[in-house]
Amino acid sequence: MRQLTCTAPHEIEWRDVPEPRLENETDALVRPLAVARCDIDPFLTSGVVPLRGPFALGHEAVVEVVDVGDSVPGLTRGQRAVVSFEVSCGSCRSCHAGHTANCDRYPVLSDYGMQPLSGVEYGGMLSDIVRVPHAATMLAPLAPGLDPVSLASVSDNVLDGYRAVTPHLASLPGADVLIVCHGGRSIPLYAVQAAVALGAGSVDYASDSAESLALAERLGARPLETNFEKPTRRYPIVVDAGFTPAGLLYAIRATEPEGILQSVSLYRGDVSMPLGRLYTLGVRFFIGRTHAAALLPEVMPLIEQRRLRPETVTTRVVEWDAAPAAYGEPAIKLIVSRIEPS
């Protein structure tokens, strides 16, 4: 079968690889229909994260079930579903606690399409067939009528934006939110959408990207163009999304005393933090990965109710065969689809 493969920095091509098979009775085999490029993918394909050899690409997808093991209740061939990008068992202590990003049964960072991070190849969603272990846990069925292309990013980045604000707005209902975008491309925009949908008092969006600011404004945020030197005010809830220490420092300075700062950023190496300031002001700092399998059942109804509309963040859709070239080109949110437009 064909698998989109990164073979070296900036080298992306289709490769023929063996088709996966059912290995356990709790597995499913799925055929990806629409795949979204995650905000982290350009860092993997550019070699910022050192390569460990060729690796399969893609981890955000809507799929069609093509085969199921004997112990996957409620799942049938032909069913469309969103796949958790993180591999998790659903039955260990961490999974029971909702911490499915750190399932006890798998090595850290066990994800599709991210072999450079984990060292383990689980396959990628830009493939003809993908094996999904623990399918009852990792697949969230799609309600009839929902468009796979619109929902391609729900597996990961949409969830990431959602969880960046949801628990904090639950503890501070109606609070003002600032989202600081300094490199992450789609996640902070999904966070805008979630904050607006969940009734934030106001949503401000700080970035140095004109394209990102314009899209944030269309989603209901107030755009704040900045070079990340000095925030203009402080907020009770701040989201840090990006890759630069300057962006993080701006987000810290923009957080109110006793306020909440949620980072959705993966920083490489050690980044210094003004702990004296955080201590003195009582800023509550949260950082960590999203828990995809645990969150999908919570987010899918919001999508069915149209309270979250991920397609409004999509900036480019290409056909399946165009993936090798398109994957290396800039776009806030790229979707690769093998569904014929109706």
Summarize as ranges the residues that interact with Zn ion (CB under 5 A).
Answer: 38, 40, 88-89, 92, 95, 103, 156
Minimal distance, residue 175 CB to Zn ion, in Å: 27
**Residue 254 beta carbon to Zn ion: minimum distance, rounded to whole angstroms:** 25
Please say which residue, 46 or 280, places its beta carbon nearer to Zn ion. Answer: 46
Nearer to Zn ion, 39 or 256 (CB): 39
CA distance 2 to 4: 7
Q: In the complex with Zn ion, which residue's Cβ is closer, 120 or 278?
A: 120
Residue 287: strand pairing partners: 263
* Least Å from the CB of residue 157 to Zn ion: 6
Closer CB to Zn ion, 28 or 89, in the complex: 89
Shortest separation between residue 293's beta carbon and Zn ion, angstroms: 9
Residue 310 structure tokens: 């991920």
For Zn ion, give the closer residue by CB, 14 or 43.
Answer: 43
Nearest to 270 by CA among 239, 245, 242, 238: 245
Could you give the angle at the alpha carbon of 323 between the alpha carbons of 288 and 108, nearest 5°?
25
Phi/psi-derived region of residue 228, left when phi > 0, alpha when psi is between -120 and 50, beta in every other case: left
Match 């997808």 to its residue by tokens: 61
- Strands 316-319, 222-225: pairing kind: unpaired
CB of 105 to Zn ion, least distance (A): 5
CB atoms within 10 A of CB 20: 18
